[in-house]
């Protein structure tokens, strides 16, 4: 299954390459080599399946995981 590159990979690729025709392919390489796409999907599944149990036992951890998912998935730039 082909996925679009994550927003985080797209931001990184844009900083690396100014040629817009290469940005998406660079972002795909970043996602593939870092495993970011897989990590995001696995984390989303864990949160979804654990549901209330995770929320009741470790709400701080669920909040941090959600923040990381939002950061990698939204278009807001990461603060350096």
Distance CA 33, CA 55 (A): 31
Residue 56 domain boundaries: 7-73
pTM greater than 0.85 = no
Read off the pLDDT band of 34 (50, 70, 90): confident
Residue 79 falls within a domain, yes or no? no
Read off the pLDDT band of 49 (50, 70, 90): confident
Q: In this structure, what is the dihedral angle of CA atoms 50, 33, 23, 65, given to the nearest 10 degrees? A: 20
- What integer pLDDT is reported at residue 73 of this predicted model? 60
- What integer pLDDT is reported at residue 56 of this predicted model? 78
62-72: pLDDT as tens digits = 788 878 777 76
Total domains, the chain: 1
Most distant CA pair in the chain, distance: 47
8 A C-beta contact, residue 13 and residue 27: yes
Residue 69 falls within a domain, yes or no? yes
Residue 78 falls within a domain, yes or no? no
Distance CA 24, CA 35 (A): 16
Mean pLDDT of the chain: 79
């Amino acid at each position: 299954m082909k996925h679009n590159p994550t927003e985080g990979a797209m931001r990184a690729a844009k900083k690396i390459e100014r040629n817009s025709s290469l940005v998406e392919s660079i972002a795909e390489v970043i996602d593939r080599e870092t495993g970011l796409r897989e990590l995001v999907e696995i984390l989303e599944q864990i949160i979804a399946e654990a549901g209330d149990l995770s929320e009741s036992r470790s709400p701080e951890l669920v909040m941090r995981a959600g923040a990381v998912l939002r950061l990698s998935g939204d278009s807001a730039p990461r603060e350096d």
